[in-house]
Structure 1
Amino acid sequence: MAPVTGSAMARLLLYSLLMVIFTTYVIISARISNGCVSALRIYDRDSLFSIRESMEGLFFTRGRYRQAFPPPFIIDPDSPECLLLCRAPGKARRKSRKRGSRSGVQVKRRRAAAHLGSAILGHGGRARCLHRIPLLSVCDTSTLPSAWATTEVLEPTQRWCGGQRLSSPPRSSVFTPVLPTRSSWRPSDRWTCLRPIPLRSVDTASVTSSTLHIGLLNARSIANKSFSLNDLFTREKLDLMCLSETWQREEEFIHLNELCPAGCSAVGKPRPCRRGGGLAVVFRDSCTCKVIQSQEFTSFESQMVMVGSSSPFYCVSVYRPPGPAAVFLKDFSDFLSSIIKLESVLILGDFNLHVDDSSSCSAKELLTLTEAFNFEQHVSEPTHQKGHILDLVFTLGLDISNVSVQDVHLSDHCLVLFNLHFSPEPKPLEVRSQRRVISANTADSFSAMFDPLLFKDCLDVDNFIHYFTSHCVEILDQVAPVKSNSSIQKKLCPWTNEDTLSLKRLCRKTERLWKSTNLEVHRLYLRDLVSSYNEMVENARSDYIRQLVTVNKKNPKVLFDTINSLVCPAAPITPVFCEADSNALLRFFTNKIKMIKDQIPPLLCGTPALIEPVSSLWSSFKSVTLADISALVTKMKPSSCSSDVLPFRLFVKVFDEIGPWVTQMVNLSLSTGVFPSAFKHAIVEPLLKKTGLDPTDLSNFRPISKLPLLSKILEKVVSEQLSLFLDQNNIHEKFQSGFRKHHSTETALLKVSSDIMMSADSGKCTVLVLLDLSSAFDTVDHQILLRRLRDEVGLSGSVLHWFSSYLSGRSFSVTANQIRSESADLLCGVPQGSVLGPVLFLL
Structure 2
Amino acid sequence: MGNLNQSSLQGGEGFHGQGLIEVVWGRRKNGHFRPREKRNRVFATLERNRCGSLQDRPPSLKVLLLNARSVNGKTAVIQDLILDEGADLACITETWLDEQGGVNLTQLCPPGFGVHQQARAGGRGGGVAVIARQSIALIRCAVPQSSRFECVFLKVGARDSLGILLVYRPPRDPAVSLSELAEVVSNSALVSQQLIVLGDFNIHAETSLTGAAQDFMVAMTTMGLTQVISGPTHQAGHTLDLVFIVDGGTVRVEEQNILPLSWSDHHLICLSFAMSSNLRRGGGPIKMVRPRRLMDPDGLLRSLGDLPVLETGDPVDVLADRYNSELTRALDTIAPERPLSLRRVMSTPWFTEELAVMKRARRGLECIWRKSRDVSDQARAKAAIKAYSVALRAARKAFTTARIASAANRPSELFRVVGELLRPPETQGLPDDLATRCSDFAHHFAGKVAQIRHELDSSLIVVPAEVTEAPVCPILWDSFRLVLPDDVEGILGSVRATTCALDPCPSWLVKQAKEGLLDWFVAIINASLGQGSFPSCFKQAVVKPLLKKTSLDPSVCNNYRPISNLPFLGKVLERVVATQLQEFLDDTDFLDRSQSGFRPGHSTETALVALVDDLRRELDRGSVTLLVLLDISAAFDTIDHGILLGRLSRMGLGGTVLQWLQSFLEGRSQMVKLGDTCSDPWPLTCGVPQGSILSPMLFNIYMKPLGEVIRSFGGCCHLYADDTQIHYSFPPDSKEAPRVLNQCLAAVADWMRRNKLRINPDKTEALLVSCSSDRGIGWQPVLDGVALPLKSQVRSLGVLLDSALTLEAQVSAVAGRAFAQLKLVRQLRPYLVKSDLTTVVHALVTSRLDYCNALYVGLPLKTAQKLQLVQRSAARLITGASYRERSTPLFKELHWLPFIFRSQFKVQTIIYKALNGLGPAYLRDRISYHKPARPLRSSGEALLSPLPISQARLVGTRERAFSAVAPRLWNSLPIEIRQAPTLLAFRKDLKTWLFRCAFGE
In structure 2, the partner of 1:514 is 366
2:100 aligned with 1:245: no
Q: Distance in 2 between matches of 1:724 and 1:838?
A: 15
Q: Distance in 1 between matches of 2:383 and 2:130?
A: 29
The within-5 A match list for 1:592-611 is 592-602=448-458, 603=460, 606-609=463-466
Q: Which of 337, 359, 362 lines up with 1:483 in the alignment?
A: 337
Q: Distance in 2 between matches of 1:611 and 1:748?
A: 34
Deviation of 1:590 after TM superposition, in Å, equals 1.6
- Report the TM-score, using the length of structure 1 for normalisation: 0.68
Q: Secondary structure at the match of 1:467?
A: helix
Q: Would the alpha carbon gap of residues 654 and 783 (structure 1) be closer, same or farther in structure 2, given more than 3 Å must change?
A: same
Contact 1:228 1:533 in 2 (8 A): no
Q: What is the RMSD of the two structures over their aligned residues, measured on CA atoms?
A: 3.6
2:267 aligned with 1:414: yes
2:615 aligned with 1:770: no
Q: Which of 1 and 2 has higher RCO (CA within 8 Å, sep 6+)?
A: 2
Q: Deviations over 1:363-412 (max 9, x none)?
A: 65554443343321101122112222211101225422112212343412
Q: Deviations over 1:590-630 (max 9, x none)?
A: 22222222222352794134898235532111111111111
Contact 2:59 2:275 in 1 (8 A): yes
Q: Secondary structure at the match of 1:727?
A: helix
Q: Would the alpha carbon gap of residues 481 and 558 (structure 1) be closer, same or farther in structure 2, given more than 3 Å must change?
A: closer
Q: Distance in 2 between matches of 1:705 and 1:267?
A: 28
Deviation of 1:711 after TM superposition, in Å, equals 1.1
Q: Distance in 2 between matches of 1:611 and 1:561?
A: 54
Contact 2:64 2:89 in 1 (8 A): yes
The within-5 A match list for 1:615-764 is 616-689=475-548, 693-764=552-623
Q: Distance in 1 between matches of 2:461 and 2:396?
A: 61
Q: Which of 824, 828, 835 lines up with 2:686 in the alignment?
A: 828
In structure 2, the partner of 1:219 is 68
The within-5 A match list for 1:76-91 is none
Decide which moves more: 576-585 or 458-467.
576-585
Q: Distance in 2 between matches of 1:581 and 1:633?
A: 36
In structure 1, the partner of 2:132 is 283
Deviation of 1:221 after TM superposition, in Å, equals 0.6
Decide which moves more: 454-463 or 592-601.
454-463
2:690 aligned with 1:838: no
Q: Would the alpha carbon gap of residues 307 and 449 (structure 1) be closer, same or farther in structure 2, given more than 3 Å must change?
A: closer
Q: Would the alpha carbon gap of residues 269 and 678 (structure 1) be closer, same or farther in structure 2, given more than 3 Å must change?
A: same
In structure 1, the partner of 2:286 is 431
Q: Distance in 2 between matches of 1:604 and 1:284?
A: 57
In structure 2, the partner of 1:547 is 405
The within-5 A match list for 1:167-566 is 210-297=59-146, 299-308=148-157, 310-323=159-172, 325-335=174-184, 341=190, 343-358=193-208, 366-396=216-246, 398=249, 399-401=251-253, 402-422=255-275, 424=277, 427=280, 430-435=285-290, 439=294, 443=298, 446-447=301-302, 450-453=305-308, 455-456=310-311, 459-478=314-333, 480-488=334-342, 496-497=349-350, 502-503=354-355, 505-518=357-370, 519-533=377-391, 535-537=393-395, 539-540=397-398, 543-544=401-402, 547=405, 550-552=408-410, 555=411, 557-558=412-413, 561-566=416-421
Deviation of 1:325 after TM superposition, in Å, equals 4.3
Amino acid at match of 2:498: S
Deviation of 1:690 after TM superposition, in Å, equals 5.3
Q: Secondary structure at the match of 1:469?
A: helix
Contact 2:128 2:152 in 1 (8 A): yes
Q: Distance in 2 between matches of 1:788 and 1:717?
A: 21
Q: Distance in 2 between matches of 1:389 and 1:686?
A: 45
Q: Deviations over 1:245-301 (max 9, x none)?
A: 111224443322221233332222222222211122222334444444444555544
Q: Would the alpha carbon gap of residues 293 and 662 (structure 1) be closer, same or farther in structure 2, given more than 3 Å must change?
A: closer
Deviation of 1:351 after TM superposition, in Å, equals 2.0
Q: Would the alpha carbon gap of residues 281 and 434 (structure 1) be closer, same or farther in structure 2, given more than 3 Å must change?
A: closer
Task: Return 5+ residue gaps in structure 1 as ranges.
Answer: 1-148, 153-197
Task: Return 5+ residue gaps in structure 2 as ranges.
Answer: 1-46, 371-376, 702-1001
Q: Secondary structure at the match of 1:431?
A: strand
Q: Would the alpha carbon gap of residues 543 and 493 (structure 1) be closer, same or farther in structure 2, given more than 3 Å must change?
A: farther
Q: Secondary structure at the match of 2:628?
A: coil
Q: Distance in 1 between matches of 2:491 and 2:347?
A: 37
Q: Secondary structure at the match of 2:337?
A: strand
Q: Distance in 1 between matches of 2:615 and 2:425?
A: 38
- Report the TM-score, using the length of structure 2 for normalisation: 0.58
Q: Deviations over 1:699-758 (max 9, x none)?
A: 333222222222112111111111111111111221212211111223223333333344
Decide which moves more: 822-831 or 607-616.
607-616
Q: Distance in 2 between matches of 1:439 and 1:769?
A: 56
Q: Deviations over 1:794-815 (max 9, x none)?
A: 2212111111111222122222
In structure 1, the partner of 2:671 is 813
Deviation of 1:331 after TM superposition, in Å, equals 4.4
Q: Distance in 2 between matches of 1:233 and 1:501?
A: 19
In structure 1, the partner of 2:35 is none
Deviation of 1:634 after TM superposition, in Å, equals 1.9
- Point out the structure with max Rg over C-alpha: 1
Q: Would the alpha carbon gap of residues 543 and 693 (structure 1) be closer, same or farther in structure 2, given more than 3 Å must change?
A: farther
Q: Distance in 2 between matches of 1:768 and 1:547?
A: 50
Q: Would the alpha carbon gap of residues 350 and 466 (structure 1) be closer, same or farther in structure 2, given more than 3 Å must change?
A: closer
Q: Would the alpha carbon gap of residues 264 and 353 (structure 1) be closer, same or farther in structure 2, given more than 3 Å must change?
A: same
Contact 1:270 1:278 in 2 (8 A): yes
Q: Distance in 1 between matches of 2:615 and 2:424?
A: 35
Amino acid at match of 2:109: C
Deviation of 1:565 after TM superposition, in Å, equals 4.3
Deviation of 1:562 after TM superposition, in Å, equals 5.0
Contact 2:60 2:275 in 1 (8 A): yes
Contact 2:61 2:274 in 1 (8 A): yes
Q: Distance in 2 between matches of 1:425 and 1:786?
A: 54
Amino acid at match of 1:608: A
Contact 2:636 2:699 in 1 (8 A): yes
Q: Secondary structure at the match of 2:533?
A: coil
Q: Secondary structure at the match of 2:629?
A: coil
Q: Would the alpha carbon gap of residues 314 and 743 (structure 1) be closer, same or farther in structure 2, given more than 3 Å must change?
A: same
Q: Which structure has greater helix proportion?
A: 2
Amino acid at match of 2:337: K
Contact 1:574 1:816 in 2 (8 A): no
Work out the number of aligned pairs and report it: 639
Deviation of 1:437 after TM superposition, in Å, equals 5.5
Amino acid at match of 2:571: K
Q: Would the alpha carbon gap of residues 361 and 723 (structure 1) be closer, same or farther in structure 2, given more than 3 Å must change?
A: closer
